[in-house]
Amino acid sequence: MLEQLQELEAKALEALQGVGTTEALEAWRIRYLGRKGELTVILRGLGSLPDAERPAAGREANRVKTALEQAFEQKAAALEQQEMARQLSEERIDVTLPGRPVEPGHLHISTRTLREIYAIFAEMGFQVYESPEVETDVYNFQLLNIPPYHPARDMWSTLHTTREGVLLRTHTSPGQIHAMREYYPQPIRIILPGKCYRYEQVTARHESMFFQVEGLAVGKHVTMADLKGVLTHFARKMFGAERKVRFRCSYFPFTEPSAEVDMDCIICGGQGCRVCKNTGWVEILGSGMVHPQVLRNGGYDPEVYSGFAFGMGPERIAMLKHGIDDIRYFFANDLRFLRQFA
C-alpha cells in the first residue's frame, strides 16, 4: 500500500501541473480528494491490512493527503492571482472618456400637488404654518373637543408611543390649537400641511402614513359663506373652472356645523361611473365652522370671534386629478410610476 500511495501522489501532482482553470482544478480535487476519489478508495483499504503494517500505512496516507491538500490550496491561490491579473489587464478603465450623464431628478407627485395647493391658497391670503408630527393626546384630541373615551376617537386609528400620552398625530388639526395660541388675538388665515399616521390596513384607498392639508381662518366676522367661497374657488382652480361643488352635512367633533365637500366627478362629468360609484359626485375634503369650545381652547372668545376649518388629503386630490386608482403607488418608490409626473 505504501507504493500505491506514493504512486498516487506522484500522479496527482503531475496532473496538477497541467491544471489551468478553476473548473479543471475542481475536477482534479474531486478525482483525487473527493468522497469517491482515488485517495479515499485507498484509505478505505487500511482496515484490511495486517496489524503490523497498518501504522506505517496510516502515517503515509496522512502525509500524502496533507501534501495533496496543500498543493491544491497553492494552485487555487495561483489561479486566483492569474485571474485577477487578467481582469486588470483586459478590463482597464479609460479615465479620459466622458462620464455617463446623471439623470436630473424631479419633484415627487405628492410634493407637486402640495405646491399647487400652497399656490392656490396663497392667492387667497393663506400662509403655511407647520406643526409637530409627534403630539400629545391633549392636543391631538382633548383640545379639539374629543375628551377621553369619547366615541369619536374611533374615527382615528391612533399610533401610540411607549410614552404615555404621546402619539403620532392622526390629523393636522392639532396645529389649529398651536396656531391660535401663537397668533391670539390677531386674525388667522393659514394652511397646515404635513404627514399624518394611522394604524390602518393598507389598501388601494388607505395608507398608514399620508399627507394632509388643514386650513384655518379665524376673525371677528368669519361666516359659513366665507368657507363655501374659499373651497369652491379652490376646487375650480385645482380641477377646472367648470367644476360643480356641493356641501353635505356631516359630523366632526371640532367643527359645528360640519360639512363634507363634494365635486362633480372629473372622470364622468357627473354622469355616473365606477370612480364616483354612479352618484356623479366625489368627496374632496371635510370642513365646518370651528366649534366654540375649540376656539375657547385656542384662546379666542367665541362670543367675539368665529372661524372655519377644512382638511384634505393631497394624495386623494392627485388621484382624482390624474386618474390614479391606488394610493400605494405614491410611496412604493416605483420609478415607472413617478416618472409619469416629471
pLDDT > 80? residue 221:
yes
Q: CA 107 to CA 330: how far, in whole Å?
A: 12
pLDDT tens digits for range 147-166: 888 887 777 788 888 899 89
pLDDT attached to residue 251: 92
Average pLDDT of span 47-51? 72
pLDDT attached to residue 121: 96
More confident residue, 223 or 210: 223
Query: How far does Cα 250 stand from its chain's mean position?
Result: 32
Query: How far does Cα 309 stand from its chain's mean position?
Result: 30
Average pLDDT of span 184-193? 95
Q: CA 65 to CA 12: how far, in whole Å?
A: 11
- Mean residue pLDDT across the chain: 87
pLDDT tens digits for range 69-92: 888 888 888 888 888 888 777 777
pLDDT attached to residue 204: 67
- Out of 1.10.10.10, 3.60.40.10, 3.40.50.300, 3.30.930.10, the CATH code matching 109-341 is 3.30.930.10
pLDDT tens digits for range 108-122: 999 999 999 999 999
pLDDT attached to residue 102: 84
Structural domain spans, the chain: 2-90, 109-341
Look at 189-193, 236-240, 290-294 and tell me which has the smallest mean pLDDT: 236-240
Q: CA 27 to CA 7: how far, in whole Å?
A: 19
